[in-house]
């Protein structure tokens, strides 16, 4: 099994889903607290993003270890390590967002969560772009690929 191939499949899904969920949250936070619809579907989507990110980080660590040994002679891959740290930071921030709950009442907390959402979107896109660079410019994850 090629972990290097499982990781991008999970992550491509979470990038799309994550951007939709965090944009959805920005729209929700822009409405007055009483004007919101049911938070159940949003909370479920947010928890789904978190679960898939957790799997993505785990398979990413395995893929990076695999590529470090097989493709880089055991030497550290700096951009790969940076990519992994960004993924863990995204996991931590999105965990904080989930634990913060879907429906803050105070305006100050709503602005704080909106800032976190924007930060999560930017971090997610930056991590994805770095992953693209690792694969398509450095060739990581392409060992053993057969068509």
Q: How far is the C-alpha of 106 from the C-alpha of 101, rounded, in Å?
A: 13
Q: Which residue has the higher pLDDT, 16 or 138?
A: 16
Give residue-wise pLDDT tens across range 27-73: 988 887 766 556 778 888 888 888 988 988 888 888 887 777 666 67
Q: Which residue has the higher pLDDT, 83 or 102?
A: 83
Q: Residue 105 contacts by C-beta under 8 Å, 6 or more apart in sequence?
A: 33
Give residue-wise pLDDT tens across range 102-121: 777 788 888 999 999 999 99
Query: Is the sign of the CA dihedral 47, 53, 55, 58 positive or negative?
Result: negative
Q: How far is the C-alpha of 48 from the C-alpha of 67, rounded, in Å?
A: 28
Q: Using CA atoms in the order 87, 126, 13, 77, what is the torsion angle rounded to 10 degrees? A: -50
Give the distance, in angstroms, between the CA of residue 97 and the centroid of all CA atoms in the same chain.
Answer: 13
Residue 85: phi and psi, rounded to 5, are: -65, -35
Mean pLDDT of 16-26: 91
Banded model confidence at residue 1, pLDDT cuts 50, 70, 90: low
* Interior/surface letters 91-117, b for 16+ CB within 10 angstroms, e for the rest: bebbeebeeeebebeeeeebeebbebb
Which pLDDT score, from 0 to 100, does residue 89 have? Answer: 92
Q: What does pLDDT average to over the chain?
A: 82
Q: Residue 136 contacts by C-beta under 8 Å, 6 or more apart in sequence?
A: none
Which pLDDT score, from 0 to 100, does residue 146 have? Answer: 45
Which pLDDT score, from 0 to 100, does residue 70 have? Answer: 65
Instruction: Kindly tell me the burial class for residue 7, based on how many C-beta atoms sit within 10 Å of its own C-beta (0-12, 13-18, 19 or more).
Output: buried
- Quote the DSSP letter at residue 145: -
Q: How far is the C-alpha of 49 from the C-alpha of 98, rounded, in Å?
A: 10
pLDDT of 2 over the 70 cut: no
Specify the pTM.
Answer: 0.80
């Amino acid at each position: 099994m090629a972990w290097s191939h499982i990781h991008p499949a999970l992550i491509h899904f979470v990038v799309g889903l994550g951007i939709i969920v965090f944009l959805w949250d920005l729209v929700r936070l822009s409405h007055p607290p009483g004007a919101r619809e049911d938070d159940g579907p949003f909370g479920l989507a947010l928890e789904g993003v978190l679960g898939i990110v957790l799997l993505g980080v785990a398979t990413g660590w395995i893929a990076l270890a695999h590529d470090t040994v097989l493709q880089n002679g055991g030497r550290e891959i700096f951009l790969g390590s940076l990519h992994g740290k960004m993924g863990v930071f995204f996991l931590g921030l999105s965990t904080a967002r989930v634990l913060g709950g879907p429906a803050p009442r105070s305006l100050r907390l709503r602005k704080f969560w909106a800032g976190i959402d924007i930060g999560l979107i930017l971090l997610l896109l930056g991590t994805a772009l770095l992953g693209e660079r690792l694969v398509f410019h450095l060739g990581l994850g392409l060992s053993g690929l057969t068509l």
